[in-house]
Amino acid sequence: MRIGIVCYPTYGGSGVLATELGKALADKGHQVHFITYQQPVRLNAFHANIYYHEVQVPTYPLFDFPPYESALSSTMVDVILNNNLDLLHVHYAIPHASTAYLAKQIVAKQGKRIPFITTLHGTDITLVGKDKTYAPVVTFSINESDAITAVSDNLRDETYKFFNIEKDIHVIYNFVDTHRFRRRDLPHFRNAIAPNNEKILLHVSNFRKVKRVPDVVKIFKQVRQQMPAKLLLVGDGPDRPQIESMCRDWDLCADVRFVGKQEQLEDVMSISDLFLLPSEYESFGLAALEAMAAQVPVISSNAGGLPEVNIDGQTGYTSPVGDVDAMAVNVLRLLGDEALLARLRAGALAQAERFHIDHIIPQYEALYERTLEKY
Ligand code: GMT
């Protein structure tokens, strides 16, 4: 198949998932065309079956807001026609579903029929999409999609709850390449972070409000009072200044490392003992799944789709949103009991295997085939 993939190219989970999907489809012989405004972060090697089309957004003094959607739709039209694409798969509804709808109408006028599939990822529904500024366009463009997927049961249910959706939403979970994320022994790296063999706690996110990164620091403060430990904070975003000042106020700076945006996440995960994800909402929690593949148990909230991924008592522990005391107790319980830690590490890996890339990619391929047959 010749497949167009549209996504956000940045460090967000939807872009990561879309890029890994495109790479896996290319490995299976499909021709994959990425259409994004910059090179996706995980699209970092040449592949004979992968094409990259950059969306250019010209500026003009009249535009306070350059019309990105028009540029994206026009690029989609160009790529569809010049590469004779079979289907478009757009990730994150806003604005990708409505731009795909427009591109589809434009190419139809030129005799080219093409279906588009929309994958809902999370905040496109639960946070941004629900806002009445966007909701009518989101509802319309989801309903006009030729197939719709959501990354968890919870996200599918939330979508039905908040939008008037008349079509089936297929759940296709996030996936992980467990071989790539397998735990490796990296003694030099581990020693550089934890020279006295302290336990290492890890958090990875884009430091937005929904991630509740201040809770990560609150949990760490309690843990640090009981045992030597280090906290690795991977990523960056709007809440970073607040987090830095919390670390200074609580005298934690010597034990907290901000390592910025990292591409070699598998290395960071390999040296970590626990992953913290206290989010306000998480449709799935891709970073937690990647941690599990590296045998890192997860201490998370029980929001959204997280309980579908992090099984309480098997792969880590879940607690109500904001209950940092319970989360700190769970961290201390786990780090203080080597047998329990070993059991949950094995449980985490077994759970990651259930979401193995080789199980999930065929589900997308089957959906593409069904969509094309019906079309
Ligand atoms: O929250 C992020 O990290 C970014 C966001 C996105 O859409 O780029 O991630 C969402 O999609 C991921 C991939 O499907 C999910 O694993 C994340 O749980 C989801 N984030 C939220 O729902 C907050």
As a whole number, mean pLDDT of residues 191-219 equals 97
Residue 130 has pLDDT above 90, yes or no: no
**Model confidence pLDDT, tens digit, residues 220-243:** 999 999 999 999 999 999 999 999
Q: Give the Å distance between the CA of 282 and the centre of ligand 1.
A: 7
Name the pTM for this structure: 0.95
How far apart are the C-alpha atoms of 210 and 124, rounded to whole Å? 13
282 lines ligand 1 (CB under 6 A): yes
235 close to 207: Cβ distance less than 8 angstroms = yes
129 lines ligand 1 (CB under 6 A): no
Residue 283's closest CA among 208, 173, 358, 176? Answer: 173
As a whole number, mean pLDDT of residues 264-270 equals 94
As a whole number, mean pLDDT of residues 180-190 equals 96
**CATH T-level assignment (fold) for domain 187-354:** Rossmann fold (3.40.50)
pLDDT at 263: 81
Helical H segments across the chain, by residue range: 13-27, 68-83, 93-108, 123-126, 135-144, 153-162, 187-193, 213-226, 240-249, 265-270, 286-293, 306-309, 324-335, 338-354, 357-374
**Model confidence pLDDT, tens digit, residues 21-64:** 999 999 999 999 999 999 998 898 899 999 999 999 999 999 99
Q: Give the Å distance between the CA of 208 and the centre of ligand 1.
A: 11
Where b means 16+ CB within 10 Å and e means fewer, 233-262 reads bbbeeebeeebeebbeeeeeeebbbbeeee
As a whole number, mean pLDDT of residues 76-103 equals 97
Residue 23's closest CA among 14, 15, 32? Answer: 32
Residue 342 has pLDDT above 90, yes or no: yes
pLDDT at 123: 86
pLDDT at 211: 97
Residue 11 has pLDDT above 80, yes or no: no
Torsion of Cα atoms, 180 then 181 then 183 then 188, to 10°: 90
Q: Give the Å distance between the CA of 239 and the centre of ligand 1.
A: 17
Calculate helix-pair angle for 93-108, 135-144, nearest 10 degrees: 50
40 lines ligand 1 (CB under 6 A): no
Residue 300 has pLDDT above 90, yes or no: yes
121 lines ligand 1 (CB under 6 A): yes
As a whole number, mean pLDDT of residues 132-155 equals 96
Q: What percent of the chain has pLDDT over 90?
A: 93
9 lines ligand 1 (CB under 6 A): no
pLDDT at 207: 96
Q: Under CATH, domain 2-175+356-374 is a member of which superfamily?
A: Glycogen Phosphorylase B; (3.40.50.2000)
As a whole number, mean pLDDT of residues 322-333 equals 98
As a whole number, mean pLDDT of residues 273-302 equals 98
Residue type for position 202? L
**Mean pLDDT value across the chain:** 96
In this structure, which residue's CA is closest to atom 7 in ligand 1?
Answer: 14
Torsion of Cα atoms, 38 then 178 then 276 then 264, to 10°: -40
pLDDT at 303: 98
CATH 3.40.50.2000 residue ranges of the chain are: 2-175+356-374, 187-354
What is the SS3 assignment for 87? strand
Q: What percent of the chain has pLDDT over 70?
A: 100
295 close to 348: Cβ distance less than 8 angstroms = yes
Q: How confident is the model at residue 253 (pLDDT cuts 50, 70, 90)?
A: very high
